[in-house]
Structure 1
Amino acid sequence: MHPTWRCRACGAHWPCQPARLGLLVEYRHDRTALLVYLGGLMAEAGEQLGHATGLHERFLGWARVRGGTMFHVNHEPGAEIHHTDPFAAPTGQRSPVRRLRGRLAAPVTLWTAPGPAGLTVSSTLVAEGEPDRLLGLVDPESDLWAVVEEAGRFAVAPLGPPHRQLADRFAGLFPSPGGLFAIGAWADTPYGPVPADAGGWAGCRLDAAREYGWGLLVEATIEAVDLAEETAPLLHYRGRYRELG
């Protein structure tokens, strides 16, 4: 977000940890081009932020070749390169509100829309009533929102432990050669494709959306529900995927 140079999704100083991971994936074959790109952004940020300190390390220091392989925050057990996240902000610089949000375990869901487009969302809430409603916070600059706004409908599917990589792919944290929907089995619905092995899905009609914090609060009416055999949920807690038990 300009001119504050904060991430619209998480509110941290940009490039935040997910943005750095995404940039490393995008420029994995040309680190020089990445440094040139970040250098231009650093100059622009310097003009807008005035006399801010630490811009060189913030924009360029982390991207220099240091050997090894990049760290992945949602790594599988035994696959980590570092014991801790090398891109994480020091404890004293972390937002207390973001730390509070991290302590609220949230179900991981996949939102999709005709087109297709999709986005991993960990802020989904269902409200029973007449009619039944669904709410969620999404990135207003995501491809998903552009499609949902035009189509007026979308599907929501709860994800399970086997969907860790899928969740990262649709969150922009994992490469998706061939497109987001090129891998895995998908079931077509009038509201958007859903993973064939998901625990079910809900078809929603868009009612309204408004800015809420750095996100977009989406309100919708649930028009259809298709529940498969009950499966264990995938949870997001303190920056990592977790399971019950």
Structure 2
Amino acid sequence: MSGGGFEAAGGAVHGEHPFLRPEQQREPVRRLRGRLSAPVTLWTAADGAQRAGLTVSSVLVGEPGQLAGLLGDESDVLEVLTASGAFAVTVLDWSRRPLADAFSFLGPAPGGPFTLATWTDTAWGPVPAGDVTWAGCRVTGVRTLGWSALVEARIEHVEPGADADPLVWQRGRYRHLG
């Protein structure tokens, strides 16, 4: 999702998003949210053999060691992290755009998104293998916030990986910070 057009599966499909309303008809709150730059993270959880994940950009980290995020209230990962009580949050870098797309259901993932990478199982959930930044979190609360579920958690473990080129989401596409 770079450049001026809407892309899917790695190639331009249209000059703009095919279902985009004219600017003056868009919801003001959504327009505000679109103008806020957000980190792209991957939330993963496991409960027994069941695994689930979702790309999440609505994330806040607070002190001391608190994390909050907004998830779709019907997402598979919400169901699994609620059942297990734990989840992992991986900070994605620019090279992991295909993984972000697969877990947000925007890109192809034959066999499912977990087939697109090698994973390390942790006490909090699966984490992409390699030098990635991730946190292991324990769920402390889940409540409805608008059309989303607000997940609150205590950060129990942090692995600071390489300081790579971060994946940032703004105005419906990935952006470079530099």
TM-score, scaled relative to structure 2: 0.90
Write the mapping of 1:208-223 to structure 2, written as runs, cut at 5 A: 208-223=141-156
Write the mapping of 1:1-245 to structure 2, written as runs, cut at 5 A: 72-73=6-7, 79-114=11-46, 115-129=50-64, 132-197=65-130, 199-245=132-178
Which of 1 and 2 has higher RCO (CA within 8 Å, sep 6+)?
2
**Could you say which structure has the larger radius of gyration?**
1
Alpha-carbon displacement from aligned partner over 1:167-192 (angstroms, at most 9, x marks no partner): 11101112321122011221221111
Question: What is the percent sequence identity of the aligned residues?
Answer: 51
Contact 2:39–2:166 (8 Å) recurs in 1 = yes
Aligned residue pair count: 171
Separation of aligned partners in 1, 2:74 and 2:147: 11
Normalized per residue, which structure has more helix?
1
Deviates further, 211-220 or 186-195: 186-195
Contact 1:210–1:218 (8 Å) recurs in 2 = yes
Alpha-carbon displacement from aligned partner over 1:8-27 (angstroms, at most 9, x marks no partner): xxxxxxxxxxxxxxxxxxxx
Deviates further, 168-177 or 148-157: 168-177
Q: CA RMSD in A?
A: 1.6
- Give, as a single letter, the amino acid of the residue that structure 2 aligns with 1:101: R
Alpha-carbon displacement from aligned partner over 1:70-120 (angstroms, at most 9, x marks no partner): x854675xx313221122122222101101100000000000001211000
Contact 2:120–2:129 (8 Å) recurs in 1 = yes
Identify if the C-alpha distance between structure 1 residues 134 and 168 changes in structure 2 by more than 3 Å, giving closer, same or farther: same
Separation of aligned partners in 2, 1:95 and 1:75: 27
Which SS does the other structure have where 1:117 is aligned? strand
The unaligned stretches of length 5 or more in structure 2 are: none
Identify if the C-alpha distance between structure 1 residues 238 and 80 changes in structure 2 by more than 3 Å, giving closer, same or farther: same
Cα shift at 1:198: 5.4
TM-score, scaled relative to structure 1: 0.66
Contact 1:159–1:198 (8 Å) recurs in 2 = no
Normalized per residue, which structure has more strand?
2
